[in-house]
Structure 1
Amino acid sequence: MPASSEGQSTVRGSWSLWLHAAVAIAMVAALRLEDRLWWCACARWNLWSSDVWGAHNSQHFVDPYAFTHLLHGVGFWWILRLVAARWSVWRQSLATAVLEALWEVWENSPFIIERYRQETAAQGYLGDTVLNSIGDLLSCLAGFWIAQRIGWRWSIALFAVTEIVLALWIRDGLILNILMLIWPIEAIKAWQMPAS
């Protein structure tokens, strides 16, 4: 690659990072307008919370659902490789960030929070904190860049293995999550409930 082309690529990448940051800032502003808390109301500074059925779900920086957001990134990579193949990888990454940020804002709307409470096992779901949404956005971008690095075959394997592990671990996953939001199945909801 000629030196001038390398320089242009670096400049484009730098601008793209600033645009990614702007997307994150806009998402944070929208979430605060929805009255989302910055951090868990418990005031504990845990970066990780593993209890998906408890009060700390989606309240800390990352939790098991971060892996579903990683799969969002893989899925966005697949879609963008098909419908926007001519775009640079940075433009595709930025589109991924915008799509995920829009989902985070919508996911934390009263309508979707109530939908989760009514139709899934997340009956006590409070919505995400702002920092959890930032963690979700970063997880999604990580998924995009991992898929970009490993390609189609391995990203399909990653998706399948992650879904299986999540189903065994938390009785949920990206596909089950989408299914239960769109077309709830009572037997799946019963299976997803915590063991008493």
Structure 2
Amino acid sequence: MSTAIDGNDSQNRHALLWFIACIGVLAIQVITQHLMGRIWICDCGYVKLFEPVVKSSGNSQHIADWYTPSHIIHGFLFYGLSHLLLRGKPLSAKLFLAMVIESAWEIAENTPMIINRYRSATISLDYFGDSILNSTMDTLAMVAGFIFAARMPVWLTVTIAIAFELFTGWLIRDNLTLNVLMLVWPLDAVREWQAGI
């Protein structure tokens, strides 16, 4: 019996270490963005729970916006990836992998190269990068999606992902799929549709 208890204690310690490592990754993301000169909050001087206007200077500056569902879907996808790559590993180790990927993207997304790519290849002409607050909340939205996918049936996770994509595609003419497409392989027809031309 003591062997089983010792085994559980060891698993709990490992899970705690992975969780601490996840917090460390988020801290590195925040510190790196600060050193890159990113602003902490919207330069408007206040914080909103949700920014409803996509083509505005407040987009990607506050706690949430219409791109938050894309980050939740990141969590769904990263859970699937980590489940394939880290079979038999604890959930906290899988979350660590997801955090590394998401944080790396959040840092890359706010480099001049990617910001300029968004501005030249997509309809995001007013995009100047995320505030540190928004970027941090994007990562936490990914964590929420990851945990949801880990706990819920696959069919429900896939259904919600499709619903998010369809809803944001209809509402703001953008979503994760279109965002990736236009960043990697911009199409004039899609750009014109997104611009409402």
* TM-score bracket for the superposition, by shorter chain length: over 0.9
Amino acid in the other structure paired with 2:169: A
Contact 2:15 2:93 (C-alpha < 8 Å) held by counterparts: no
Q: Which runs of 4+ in 1 moved over 3 A?
A: 1-6
Identity %: 32
Whole-angstrom distance in 1 between the partners of 2:19 and 2:46: 31
Contact 1:113 1:127 (C-alpha < 8 Å) held by counterparts: yes
2:163 corresponds to 1:161: yes
Q: Deviations along 1:65-104, whole A, 9 cap, x unmatched?
A: 1110111111111112222223221100011011100000
Contact 2:15 2:90 (C-alpha < 8 Å) held by counterparts: no
Q: Structure 1 residues 127, 194: CA separation in 2 closer, same or farther (over 3 Å shift)?
A: farther
Amino acid in the other structure paired with 2:122: T
Q: Deviations along 1:102-148, whole A, 9 cap, x unmatched?
A: 00000001010001001111111010000101000000111111111
1:194 offset after TM fit, Å? 6.1
Counterparts of 1:15-26 in structure 2, within 5 Å, are 15-26=17-28
Query: Which one of the candidate residues 13, 18, 34 is aligned to 2:15?
Result: 13
Whole-angstrom distance in 1 between the partners of 2:97 and 2:138: 15
Contact 2:78 2:98 (C-alpha < 8 Å) held by counterparts: yes
Amino acid in the other structure paired with 2:79: W
Give the equivalent residue in structure 2 for 1:110: 112
Backbone CA RMSD of aligned residues: 1.6
Moved more, 77-86 or 127-136: 77-86
Whole-angstrom distance in 1 between the partners of 2:48 and 2:110: 21
Amino acid in the other structure paired with 1:89: L
Query: Which one of the candidate residues 30, 33, 53 is aligned to 2:32?
Result: 30
Query: Which one of the candidate residues 158, 181, 184 is aligned to 2:183?
Result: 181
Give the equivalent residue in structure 2 for 1:172: 174
1:4 offset after TM fit, Å? 3.2
TM-score (norm 2): 0.93
Gaps of 5+ in 1: none
2:100 corresponds to 1:92: no
SS state at 1:60 partner: coil
Amino acid in the other structure paired with 1:60: H
Amino acid in the other structure paired with 1:186: D
SS state at 1:132 partner: helix
Give the equivalent residue in structure 1 for 2:143: 141
Contact 1:53 1:194 (C-alpha < 8 Å) held by counterparts: no
Whole-angstrom distance in 2 between the partners of 1:106 and 1:85: 28
Whole-angstrom distance in 1 between the partners of 2:167 and 2:14: 37
Gaps of 5+ in 2: none
Number of residue pairs matched? 195
Q: Structure 1 residues 194, 12: CA separation in 2 closer, same or farther (over 3 Å shift)?
A: farther
Amino acid in the other structure paired with 2:186: P
Whole-angstrom distance in 2 between the partners of 1:157 and 1:193: 28
Give the equivalent residue in structure 2 for 1:191: 193
Give the equivalent residue in structure 2 for 1:129: 131
